[in-house]
Homo-oligomer: A and B are copies of this chain.
């Protein structure tokens, strides 16, 4: 992708905003973006990760769900929802082993692609980028660890509350990333089912913590929500 491209600026900005690339020098980023290709995937598209083994992708806009399925029950577990600045599949980059997961676009997705070979070249030339890679992977790994702790140590209502708090914007108190998702997708994020999520949404509503419109949750009383998340709210 060259500077003449009408999307160049937006793509550059996405790279500069990502944990993994933001510490690179401006010149190095421009060098990187030159080797990348812009691709669009439409919303609702399904992919298998191992078919994209030979390249690395950076999200410029839109959301991508990374998930796993239990083939005998059809149940799904969403591992991550990746957004602007996220890189995939980082697992394959780390140990070069097959990572068999499913991807599904939640919106129209705009990504920058680069071949793994070229990534490795760039890394070799700029070993300092390892530092940012570790930082990024640390971030992802903490999310995984937090999730498994959450599921093991807390019930579904607590987990739902944690999810809402985790995705709440600190200032506007609006939900980011997960707003606009149906109950079903929320369930996949916390390891339960649609009916259970809906049951708890009704409870949170009754407690006055949230209000709900179709595919939209507003946080009405943050203190209540926090109390529920910390298992200190008794009147539920």
Residues of A within 8 A of B (CB): 68-70, 72-73, 75, 77, 79, 91, 93-95, 97, 99, 127, 130, 133-135, 137-142, 144-145, 147-149, 151-154, 191, 230-232
Contacts and interface: CB of A to CB of B under 8 A. Distances in A.
A69 B148 CA distance: 12
Given A70-B154, A72-B231, A94 B149 contact: no
A142 B89 CA distance: 13
Contact of A94 (B69, B134, B153): B134
A94 B191 contact: no
A interface secondary structure, majority: helix
A151 B95 contact: no
A95 B127 CA distance: 16
A73 B154 CA distance: 9
A84 to B, nearest CB: 20
